[in-house]
Structure 1
Amino acid sequence: MRLNYLAALFLGSFVVAQNDYPNLPTSFLQTSSPVTPLLQGFPWGTRTANNTNPYPPATGVIRAYDFTIKRGTVAPDGYTRDVLLVNGKFPGPLIEANWGDTIQVTVHNEISGPAEGTALHWHGLLQKTSQWMDGVPGVQQCPIPPGGSFTYSFLADLYGSSWYHSHYSAQYAGGLFGPMIIHGPSTVNYDIDIGPVMLTDYYHKDYFSILEGVMGTNPDLSLIAPQSVNNLINGRNNFDCSTLTSDDTAHCVSNAGISKFKFTAGKKHRLRLINAGAEAIQMFSIDGHNMTVIANDFVPIIPYQTQVVTLGVGQRTDVIVQGLPVKQGSYTMRSSIADCSRTIQPNATAIVYYSIFNKESKPKSTPWPAFTEAVANNCANDPLTETQPWFPITPDPSPPTTETITIGFGQNASGNSVFTMNTVSFRANYNEPILLLSKLGNNSYPDSPEWNVYNFGSNSSMRIIINNPGGPAHPMHLHGHNMFVESVGLGSWDGTVVRPANPQRRDVQIVPAGGYLVLQITADNPGAWPLHCHIAWHVSAGLYVTVLERPADIANLPIPSIMSQTCRDWAAFENTTVVDQIDSGL
């Protein structure tokens, strides 16, 4: 379909299928495929990031995708293993839209051997007009049962770089994730959009086996952060098979190769860095090249230069990299797992090349000294003073309610190792999503304390102080909001808000070990919103609360009947199959 945006204004909504774009990369594993704005042009008109509050225009365009989820076999690092795949791809296909488009994804659950439910989350999108499409089972929906299908439909209500992933147990650690790009107004001019650069720690065991160890009865904190074996850039990085036992060497079948990115001399390249891993904090750098940071998560920021970018799980950072004044040569792109994580092979590399003749040559470049130092000594995001949103928004200086939540670790009544938030370890009930219960007027759950629901009533804004007195750093993710990050640090909060007229906004922020995180929310999105650590193993172990926002308005949400039907379909599946929910369910 080749309709332009002006035609859409006269014809109303129209659907653009994924396959209508032959320029979209079918796989971006080994070479970068430059991304360009979609065919409907620039529907945001004269809006820019510094003159527009980030709420979208209406385009009337539907970007339609069709996803089939199955088990499959891959060897992205040369080691053959079974994973979960979207349309047979690892990572999954790119979702691409313009700001203000409607994204429509029909998901077919064909997971078998054994069969599992599933649900997809569209990380960082606000879902202000579709709170039930956030994709968290037990919170906004029931899982999609095996053999079932479900169509997600939601507005591309923010612009920038993100990803989608399963929110059913730790499935995304088993391969069920992919990138998402929403084109919108520019802040800093650039020439070439390189597209997604996905950084992922990697495991050779299947996710369920790892969870069995995580949820075991040995209260050892190291077990709840299991050791990864490798680190990947866009799904590639060679694994050193000499580290394997003789029983495992048969799984190493080939040299998988590494990813490659074509740069043009003197041109400015946009790279969309995404930490889509299960646990590790990533340190990213390109030898010999400075980076200009232009966005954190979905929030454009005042640009600043750096040689190293830190990304906790779930975080995204967009950078501009100017090509060197050379016509040929190759340089090493690096992403290393920070020393606060346990891994066998922490260093992922890719090739940045300027001439096709250098595409296969091994770079001789050396890492920035700042990169080596950061990997060894840094498990926190850049200082809040450096990350100033381009469009200023001032939060309520005196929010009407404050909640303090303390992270803990121990054993539950069954002896399983768990994380807690204010002494409660979360466990989802797949059959009773909190949002759907709230729609029916049920906003108190004394018989289900493990749901860990914080009902903030009709408060116009809320401040949440998260204390992390011990254990590891946690990348805390809030759904449905770009939260104000008012302060973060070691020890206890002294009450100081960093840049109170325009604090940092993003949807994931690392709370350091032995430290605190202060976030604030403007209650402009009634719904049931997860607030959780984005380390797959930690949320599986219960490090989660639900922020119940404006329940009186939830009662008026036009939640479609398909949400109840999906619950009936899931209940029918459970009537014939015992679901082995060994973790929190998320």
Structure 2
Amino acid sequence: MKSCAALVAYALATLASATCPPRVQRAQNRTFSYGTLKAETLPKFLKDNPLPGGTPWGADIDPKTVNPRVPPNTGVTRNYDFTISRGALAPDGYYKKSGILINGQFPGPTIEANWGDMIEVRVTNNITSPDEGTALHWHGLFQNGTAWYDGVPSVSQCPIAPGASFTYKFQAGVFGSSWYHSHYSAQAAGGLFGPLIVYGPSHVEYDEDIGPVMLADWFHKDYFAIVKNVMSNNSSLWANPSDNTLINGRMPYNCSQVTDGTPCGDAPFAKFRFETGKTYKLRLINAGAAGMQYFSIDGQTLQIVANDLTDIQPYNTTIVTLGVGQRSDVLFTPKAINGTKSIWMRTLQSGKFCQRASNPAGRAVILLDGAPDDTIPKTVAYPAPVDDGTCKNDPLELSVPYYEESLPEPSTTFQITVNTIVNASGNQLYTMNGSPFMANYNNPLLGLAYQKNVSYPTQWNTYNFGSNSSVRIVIWNNSSGPHPMHIHGHDMYLLYDGTERWDGTTIVNPLNPVRRDTHNLRPKGWMVMQYNLDNPGVWPFHCHIAWHLSMGMYVNLMESPEKIDAAAIPEVLRETCDAWNEYSKSHVVEQIDSGV
């Protein structure tokens, strides 16, 4: 009889999967120290489950020929234990923020796994004063066969009730840089997010992996108060600029701007130490609520090698553009500028058109070749991108997937129009095809679908594409705001992006189109995407700007729910809904927005 390792090696050779006796690995639960000089570099992979060939995926493989969406089955489970609670937050020195933390940390602990591992996260909801439900979404992971662990309340689960726990378990089915965040109202804007790294075969060479570089706008108000503002039809409240821009949870606030007596003190810059002559991998993540980020390092060339969870043919740039939810892996070989040993790393929120920010420029310190820890750079930034209101990603032509995948013929085409309305209560809302989304926490869509109930109220914005194999969606943004559009359970083939109406035929890179899970829809612009119906479930498709999502910019894409075995749904889901239903019977759930 073949050994488990031999079975998996054979499976990889035939692009199949094999089953090993399960092994549970206690997670390292790495504290978020990135952006400090104590931060550890990341490994090429976690080395406790190598197969023949020296890696967790067996013999060395060529990422150009092995489908990154067909993972090995390593037989290993990575266990994490998260407790979510409120706590004081002052990442920029402004001491008034009540945030939401994981294990007392902001950002939350880093989740790490090898491609093909299972990830198991036990989440305990200790949010009090006031009580709130919660749920965590694992951004960009497809949840093949585990749609109920996608982490969207009212869709894949009931919220986790205060005092209750819920355990997510899913496969690291793709590899690269991502993040997790709350999908309950706008809790992520209160601090409830962290990085998620899946190690896999690399198509580029580098010396060290610096790990996540999380870029985020930061708001001094509580997220609940901001949601109330943006739901208002009062334009002065609705604008709501961010207060600061953080790199790995750090950036000193200009305390001279504080006029209300709130304590404000010193806060550190994030810091990185590099050596000239080495090549470093940076995992850039826009984990913000609303602001597009333009990342750069003074005087340096950056090479983009992956967008979201898709490796691409490398290309060079000086500025990396990231909408909310987007990620880019970049390589960076530092060079000294005029003999200096310290340079600025920067991220700039877009200006008046794409997102207002009181302090749009975030900075971090890069120290070169043994420079003293307290060295402050004096380098000069690249010219800021032109703020022309287009709020666009790099041209689609530049992002060519490394693993080639041809575009199938769509079996149907569907159009979505984005608009704004003011409802009878005076709230400003976003609509998709005329309807703003409104969650029902007590009736998750997946549970209803598995009971063969596929007829829902209009405000649940659910589209069932039946037996279609590949759906092409044409989106027209008839609003003045940008929208980083994110799909769950899939990658999108991105076929067109522009301000001119799509002509119905033009497709960028038709033989190997861009694939990613989030893409910026321009103000008054068009975007055409396509996805394959190969993952039964109910999958959200929405704007990733927290406030736009709160205002209802969300639809559900239903996909072959009859193909999911209801008997496979874990008992913990029923228990979670029982706990939530019991909680909501005796407590008023103040749902002032869409709920997701």
TM-score by length of 2: 0.92
Matches within 5 A, 1:308-327: 308-324=319-335
2:396 aligned partner, one-letter code = L
Contact persistence 2:135–2:152 (CA under 8 A): yes
Q: Secondary structure at the match of 2:371?
A: helix
1:43 aligned partner, one-letter code = P
Instruction: Say which of 534, 543, 547 aligns to 1:537.
Output: 547
Shift of 1:368: 2.1
**Pair 14,280 (structure 1): closer, same or farther in 2 beyond 3 Å:** same
Partner Cα distance (2:340, 2:77) in 1: 42
Instruction: Say which of 570, 573, 578 aligns to 1:568.
Output: 578
Shift of 1:217: 3.9
Q: Name the counterpart of 1:517.
A: 527
Matched, 1:33 2:60: no
Q: Secondary structure at the match of 1:165?
A: strand
Q: Secondary structure at the match of 1:564?
A: helix
Contact persistence 2:336–2:368 (CA under 8 A): no
Q: Secondary structure at the match of 1:250?
A: coil
Q: Name the counterpart of 1:170.
A: 186
Q: Name the counterpart of 2:121.
A: 105
2:100 aligned partner, one-letter code = L
1:33 aligned partner, one-letter code = E
Partner Cα distance (2:546, 2:411) in 1: 33
Q: Secondary structure at the match of 1:178?
A: strand
Partner Cα distance (2:297, 2:494) in 1: 28
**Pair 277,403 (structure 1): closer, same or farther in 2 beyond 3 Å:** same
2:275 aligned partner, one-letter code = T
Residue segments in structure 2 that go unaligned for 5+ positions in a row: 9-17
Shift of 1:71: 0.4
Deviations 1:270-302 (A, max 9, x none): 000000000000000001210110000000000
Matches within 5 A, 1:300-449: 300-324=311-335, 329-339=341-351, 340-369=354-383, 372-374=384-386, 379-397=391-409, 399-445=410-456, 448-449=457-458
Shift of 1:501: 1.1
Shift of 1:242: 1.2
Deviations 1:83-106 (A, max 9, x none): 000000111110011000000000
Instruction: Say which of 463, 478, 497 aligns to 1:454.
Output: 463
RMSD of Structure 2 on Structure 1 (CA): 2.0
Shift of 1:374: 4.6
Instruction: Say which of 47, 50, 57 aligns to 1:44.
Output: 57
Partner Cα distance (2:5, 2:359) in 1: 48
Q: Name the counterpart of 1:528.
A: 538
Matched, 1:74 2:89: yes
Instruction: Say which of 171, 176, 197 aligns to 1:181.
Output: 197
**Pair 360,127 (structure 1): closer, same or farther in 2 beyond 3 Å:** same
Q: Which consecutive segments of 4 or more residues in structure 1 shift more than 6 A?
A: 4-11, 325-328
1:95 aligned partner, one-letter code = I
Matches within 5 A, 1:214-233: 214-218=230-234, 220=235, 223-233=237-247
Q: Name the counterpart of 2:76.
A: 61
Contact persistence 1:439–1:557 (CA under 8 A): no
Partner Cα distance (2:124, 2:550) in 1: 24
Partner Cα distance (2:502, 2:524) in 1: 12
Partner Cα distance (1:367, 1:165) in 2: 31
Number of equivalences? 570
Q: Name the counterpart of 2:255.
A: 241
Shift of 1:30: 3.0
**Pair 581,238 (structure 1): closer, same or farther in 2 beyond 3 Å:** same
Partner Cα distance (2:157, 2:529) in 1: 26
Contact persistence 1:283–1:374 (CA under 8 A): no
Partner Cα distance (2:567, 2:216) in 1: 37
Contact persistence 2:32–2:107 (CA under 8 A): no
2:157 aligned partner, one-letter code = Q
Contact persistence 1:120–1:136 (CA under 8 A): yes
1:564 aligned partner, one-letter code = R
Q: Name the counterpart of 2:569.
A: 559
Partner Cα distance (2:7, 2:474) in 1: 49
Instruction: Say which of 286, 289, 295 aligns to 2:297.
Output: 286
Partner Cα distance (2:563, 2:501) in 1: 35
Q: Secondary structure at the match of 1:373?
A: coil
Q: Name the counterpart of 1:260.
A: 271
1:456 aligned partner, one-letter code = F
2:241 aligned partner, one-letter code = Q
Shift of 1:555: 5.5
Partner Cα distance (2:536, 2:220) in 1: 40
TM-score by length of 1: 0.94
Q: Name the counterpart of 1:464.
A: 473
Q: Name the counterpart of 2:13.
A: none
Q: Secondary structure at the match of 2:249?
A: coil
Partner Cα distance (1:186, 1:244) in 2: 47
**Pair 378,542 (structure 1): closer, same or farther in 2 beyond 3 Å:** closer
Matched, 1:479 2:488: yes
2:514 aligned partner, one-letter code = Q
**Pair 437,11 (structure 1): closer, same or farther in 2 beyond 3 Å:** closer
Partner Cα distance (1:377, 1:33) in 2: 39
Contact persistence 2:230–2:239 (CA under 8 A): yes
1:519 aligned partner, one-letter code = M
Q: Secondary structure at the match of 2:385?
A: helix
Partner Cα distance (1:420, 1:579) in 2: 24
Instruction: Say which of 174, 178, 181 aligns to 1:158.
Output: 174
2:366 aligned partner, one-letter code = V
Q: Name the counterpart of 2:12.
A: none
Partner Cα distance (1:167, 1:10) in 2: 32
Shift of 1:561: 2.0
**Pair 223,395 (structure 1): closer, same or farther in 2 beyond 3 Å:** farther
Shift of 1:329: 0.4
Instruction: Say which of 175, 183, 202 aligns to 2:218.
Output: 202
Contact persistence 1:199–1:282 (CA under 8 A): yes
Partner Cα distance (1:5, 1:224) in 2: 57
Shift of 1:328: 6.9
Partner Cα distance (2:240, 2:322) in 1: 19
Q: Secondary structure at the match of 2:262?
A: helix
Shift of 1:471: 1.1
Partner Cα distance (2:291, 2:324) in 1: 7
Contact persistence 1:441–1:555 (CA under 8 A): no
Q: Name the counterpart of 1:124.
A: 140
Contact persistence 1:440–1:555 (CA under 8 A): no
Partner Cα distance (2:366, 2:250) in 1: 14
Shift of 1:444: 1.6
Q: Secondary structure at the match of 2:568?
A: coil
Partner Cα distance (1:510, 1:224) in 2: 21
**Pair 187,557 (structure 1): closer, same or farther in 2 beyond 3 Å:** farther
Partner Cα distance (2:148, 2:263) in 1: 42
2:71 aligned partner, one-letter code = P
